[in-house]
Amino acid sequence: MRSRFFSRGMRLLVVGIATLVATSVPLAPAHATYGAQQPIHLQLFSPTAQQVGLLDGWIQFDDGNLQFRYSLTITRQSSFTQPFVDVFVNGTFVVQWTGSVTDERTFASTVVNVRFVFHGSSFTGPGNFREHVKTVTYDNPYN
């Protein structure tokens, strides 16, 4: 009789501890899903319509509003200086790139938009250096 009571009591104790452990262990956060790739295409021209630089690639936002990823290729066509792109998130400068890059960024607060500012340069005459800039902004479709 005593062993039967002990074994039933032990089972209840083990089940109780297992339930407590299972409910107190935090679950891993759900991973956000990325939306469709949105194309990025910026062509810089000089005042004489000469191609200066090309920015091509894509951007994707996650449906959790905290991440985005992008892939960029910067091509120097006739730019005097190496073309580059500045990346801004919610109006704040984040990073500058030249060449090709694939990057993913995570933020603690909602990503409202991402702006790419593409820079190149040319000479428009003797001693006349000119910078060329084009900007595109992508709004996060999930907020």
* Averaged pLDDT for residues 107-115: 97
Lowest mean pLDDT among 25-29, 45-49, 108-112, 123-127: 25-29
Residue reference for tokens 């262990």 = 25
pLDDT of residue 19: 60
Structural domains in the chain, sorted by start? 38-139 (2.60.40)
pLDDT of residue 13: 58
- Per-chain mean pLDDT for the chain: 86
**Rounded to whole angstroms, how far apart are CA atoms 141 and 67?**
12
Tokens of 113: 């938009």
pLDDT of residue 14: 63
Q: Are strands 113-123 and 100-106 parallel, antiparallel or unpaired?
A: unpaired
Could you tell me the pLDDT band of residue 27, with boundaries at 50, 70 and 90?
very low
Lowest mean pLDDT among 14-23, 73-82, 83-92: 14-23
Entry pTM:
0.77
What does the DSSP assignment read for 57-111? EEEEEBTTSSEEEEEEEEEESS-SSPPEEEEEETTEEEEEE-SEEEEEEE-SS--
- pLDDT tops 70 at residue 23: no
